[in-house]
Amino acid sequence: MATITTFKNMKMLLSSAKTMGTTPLFASQNPAFLPESAQLMSSLKKWNLKKVAAFYGTSSSLSLKVHAMIAAWDLEAHSNGGSAALGQFKGEAFAKLDVDHMSPKVQDYALDNIVIGSGLYGLLRGNDAIMHYRLDMGQKIDSSGLKTFWRPRGSALLKAICEDDFLVNIASAEYGEAFDLMGIDVYEVDFWQIVSGKRRAMSVFSKQARGLMARHLCHHASDGLDALEGFSDEGYLLVERADGGKRFVFERS
């Protein structure tokens, strides 16, 4: 995978998505915590369809799909390469990121510099090889909370990744709080909708905005931190830099 050394000053943290699909992008490495992922998956593989449905609260048809997904997950398949994690997530944020249709140069930058919080894999790099799964960071397996399970591991990896860089945290609160960001040069981003003159946080729009921001930063990475100030996609405007300039607050009417 080509590395764009000019842009080696920024990393981005996103949340994973439940919806997954195919991508033409190939992975270049395995996830950092694959043995731990296999440990979690081994517990899920013991569950029957009834327990899967109860755990996920899914319909009969979706429970069947999730049960089959769990059965198909294979530790050894990861060693054979596969598709890049960043392209496999297809939720609201990733639809706006649209990494599959970036230019090769920008695509390489995204794969090298976006990291993704994951309930199954802990912390993914964009070009990690993964298999489809459904597991949120806020869930528990065998009474073990995944945030607690992943926090020391994922935080150590994130700090290593960001050792010489700054981090733009575009993850949801659920995923952002799963990592200890102390010691990392972190910039936070808030997205608000203005409804009847008042700020409202609307989940679907916040997810979309995170993807839009990540795409914008990938295309303007050479601007460094100034790229954050220049974001104005789909009507968003920067209205405030709070917390000593570390939090960028955007609004849209």
pLDDT one-digit tens code per residue, 52-67: 999 999 999 999 999 9
Share of the chain above pLDDT 90, in %: 89
Asked whether residue 198 carries a pLDDT value surpassing 80, the answer given is yes
Asked whether residue 240 carries a pLDDT value surpassing 60, the answer given is yes
**Residue 3: which pLDDT band, with cuts at 50, 70 and 90?**
very low
Q: Residue 22: what pLDDT?
A: 95
Q: State the average pLDDT for the chain.
A: 93
Q: What are the extents of the domains in the chain? A: 5-252
Q: Tell me which of 1-5, 22-26, 36-40 is least confident.
A: 1-5
Look at the alpha carbons of 207, 212, 213, 218 in this order and tell me if their dihedral is positive or negative. positive
Q: Tell me which of 49-53, 76-80, 95-99, 222-226 is least confident.
A: 76-80
pTM listed for this prediction: 0.93
**Residue 81: which pLDDT band, with cuts at 50, 70 and 90?**
confident
Residues 143, 133: Cα–Cα separation, whole Å: 20
Per residue in 118-162, pLDDT (tens digit) is: 999 999 999 999 999 999 999 999 888 999 999 999 999 999 999
Asked whether residue 9 carries a pLDDT value surpassing 50, the answer given is yes
Q: Residue 8: what pLDDT?
A: 47
